[in-house]
Amino acid sequence: MSDETTIVRARLLDDGTVVHVHPDGTTTPIDETRTDWARLDAMTEEEIEANALADPDSAPETEEEIAAMWGGDFLKNLRARLNMTQAEFSQRFRIPLGTLRDWEQGVSYPDASARTLLRVIAREPEAVLRALAS
């Protein structure tokens, strides 16, 4: 097996199609039928967990990794970049103020869903604000 890393660029089109973006800029649809759903349906929870843990791309984050990535500095820097106080960030992104304070102080950390929201806010804050305004 080669030590080379292969990077595959993909894009989600407006119609929901996922395409592979080739180096020359052309695209081809990604075949989503490669998943053997019957095999997955037949697996036990233990087998599913063992497979997930064996895949380095889907390994769960440890508490230490979560703390390092999502601790107070990440949120404070994000708020500073957006020029928002805790109260403004809380109100505009609909995150309870007490929860935001706990995250920033390291009392608790965002769960997987909240981390997803925070990733989107960090990359596309205006899109999140537009979505929440409707």
Residue 65 main-chain phi, psi, to 5 deg: -65, -40
Instruction: Note whether 71 and 50 are same-domain residues.
Output: no
Q: Return the structure tokens found at 44.
A: 């036990």
Instruction: Note whether 101 and 125 are same-domain residues.
Output: yes
The reported pLDDT for the residue numbered 88 is 96
pLDDT tens by residue, 13-55: 888 778 888 888 888 887 766 677 788 889 888 888 788 777 7
For residues 109 and 71, the answer to whether their CB atoms sit within 8 Å is yes
CA 16 to chain centre: 18
Distance set, CA 134 to CA 3, 112, 117, 128 (Å): 48, 24, 17, 10
Instruction: Note whether 35 and 87 are same-domain residues.
Output: no
pLDDT tens by residue, 91-101: 999 999 999 99
Instruction: Note whether 30 and 70 are same-domain residues.
Output: no
Residue 89's identity, in one-letter code, is F
Q: Return the structure tokens found at 130.
A: 């537009």
Number of domains in the chain: 2
Instruction: Note whether 79 and 122 are same-domain residues.
Output: yes
Instruction: Note whether 43 and 67 are same-domain residues.
Output: no
Instruction: Note whether 71 and 129 are same-domain residues.
Output: yes
Look up the domain containing 126 and give its range: 63-133
| Domain CATH number, residue 126 | 1.10.260.40
Instruction: Note whether 38 and 85 are same-domain residues.
Output: no
DSSP code of residue 71: S
pTM of the model: 0.53
Cβ atoms within 10 Å, residue 15: 5
Q: What is the mean pLDDT of the chain?
A: 83
Instruction: Note whether 129 and 67 are same-domain residues.
Output: yes
Q: Does residue 5 surpass a pLDDT of 60?
A: no
Instruction: Note whether 45 and 86 are same-domain residues.
Output: no
Range among 3-7, 31-35, 126-130 with highest mean pLDDT value: 126-130
Beta-bridge mates of residue 18 = 12
Cβ atoms within 10 Å, residue 110: 21
pLDDT tens by residue, 85-124: 999 999 999 999 999 999 999 888 888 889 889 989 999 9
Q: Return the structure tokens found at 77.
A: 């820097």
Per DSSP (E only), the strands in the chain are 9-12, 18-21, 27-29
